[in-house]
Structure 1
Amino acid sequence: MYVLNANHISKSYKTAGETMRILQNVNLQVMKGEMVAIMGPSGSGKTTLLHVLTGVDTPDDGEIVIGGETFSQLTEEEKAFFRRKHMGMIFQDFQLLESLTVKENILLPLILERKEADIQQERFSRIADVLGIEKLADKGITEISGGQKQRVAIGRALINEPDIIFGDEPTGSLDRKTTGDVMRCMKQMNQRSGISFLLVTHDAYTASFCDRVLFLQDGNLAKEVKKENTADNFREDIWKTLCGLGGGKDDLFDISRKMLKAGFYKYRLYFLCNLSATALFCCFAVISTNRTFMNASIVNSSISNNIYLPFFLSAVFLVFFLPVSCQAFLASRKQEYGVMFSLGMSRKEAFRNLLFENVIISVLALAIALAAGTVLSFLFFPLSFMQ
């Protein structure tokens, strides 16, 4: 049974005399008890689709049926009443009233419905217990954290036992740990109550808690991914599909190449350390393998002392310096790969990208250092080249 059935939805806007088609013949169905995510690049029409489905905006063409009611044909007043009884909303910025307590915010839809006090208390206790916010009931909104605020928003959306809950970037302002906690709460409520969820999100980690993901591109539903294996495999499938919307199978390498090129200055410590180590080894190898120089150093011990001491000190310095440079390298990548992980990049893909970056840096360092080491050996120790 479909809780939401949207057929042939189209929407366009006129800007500066031009018509921009945002949605083009979109067909979307959500089953009872199903949890669905909508993803897509910026400008693909995700927010517009959500506004049309919730009655905030009116479609140019198409029909929207929610809970057996043709929602798209209702008047504005009827839509407002229908939303209050049959639909819940979760927003990125919570949309909570700071003048009310946590409990009052959650009960607001029931208060508007003028439900009896015992019904309000029973539903609040049940939902607050599942969401883990029963101890926050009398706190003000400004006294709780972002994750707790989103749980309050989820409670408010659930309190009226709607047919479907719509989420507009529900975890967009949360960190990864809090996102996981909030999404597990949503999934638990979905499984317990059988209420359907339709979430618009840019985050593959958030989407991986859903049963399937629809991908919107250029106003059309381009692809669909269903959860068939583990959450990690599902998240990887979501990530690959997102990349596929923008190009071929080598998109991850292309991303890594662009990140490497744009932030090359971040690698300078790591690069210079590799360069110094290789150049030092090259100088030492050239000098120590030359018979003429070695014979001269045996005869004159001062040559040996003057040459080997700097090499030894430089080697010791580099041994301690290499771990520092590696740490600096990883720290410089932490922010970028933190973003990539939050978007669903797998550890395998991250390892492949880091390997690609390291190979590029190492090859460049090796090539330059070999040339520099040879030139330095000739300039400062010409005896090593003489036979």
Structure 2
Amino acid sequence: MSPASSHSPHGQSPLRTVQVLGGGNAGSSQHVRSLAAGLVARGVRVTVCAPTDADSAYDFTGAGAEHVPIPRSSDPGSVAALRAACSNADLVHAHGLHASFRAALALSGRRTPLIVTWHNRAYAEGPRAQLLRVLERRVVKAAAVVLGTSSDLVDRARRRGARDARLSAVALPAPRGTLGRDESDRCKTRAELGATDRPLLMAVGNLYRHRGYDVLLDAVRAWRGLDPEPLLVIAGEGPLRAELQGRIENEGLPVRLIGRRDDVDELLLAADLALLPSRWESRSVLAQEALHARVPLIATAVGGVPELVGDAAELVPYGDAVALGRAVVRLLGDPERREALRERGVRQLATWPTEDETVAQVLSVYDEFTRPRPLT
């Protein structure tokens, strides 16, 4: 019997799963929504434990799951609330380091299997870096299996002592904006951003140090002499906004910070190039959306990016502003290369798992760690 059909055979009750999500970045939140919908369609009972605003944004209840609001990790009541929500679960699946740590605490003393998916890695320096290593070791010790969305995350889990760590690439839904958009929509978005008669470069992501935006601003000097001068637009919010805005104003950079947006797919469709300058990424949502939108991508060769994009993007070393700037100038001046990247992107998309394949793989993992459940 295939994994997709073995979760509720005759004489057994439906599998009861709890999906635990912390603050939730876009990738993990979209994955949980997709996973919940696929599991429910296969007869699995799904409860999603996540902050209220996460359900508002990703509509877990609309996917057929029960949503239990759980305070964020900083709230002292979150572990107790999670423990209560998991009381009748056959299996708990936590997404991300902090959500996994809270799930491990909530399941302490119980025999409920804990599945952990690492979608990304946390960043910290100094004493906090040591704390993160402690959390990672605690999580992998408690987990029956750790699923990493890129090979280096799997390796990281093994280094931390995971008894079982596997690659589990996840599928994200195709961005809704890739359908039904025409040239007039694209022109309208470009006009809104101030790029009617100039190249538009798009970067997306929270304004944190590891995103590499300081390097990106350094790279701007490479294209300042072009005519027309390209405009760089960064969509995202975070603690570096004031610092970045100060540099933009003091150096007169052709850059706009537009804050957090819920129309990233439309922004990408209007762009000439997408830029991903991060210190590290796993299965970058921006990279996936750029390839779906057929927008040429320039990204740092870090983490899971090379295995995700293959030859469908220009890859540069992290922290090398000169290489990043030259790649932008070279690609803007080479329409044949841009078209080649678009075509390679279409082929690369076909190598990624579908949502159905992702759900089937996760169900096969669930089957390994759950016993037959007699009807009650």
Same fold (TM over 0.5): no
**Rg larger in 1 or in 2?**
1
Given the two structures, how large is their TM-score scaled by the length of structure 2? Answer: 0.28
Greater percentage in helix: 1
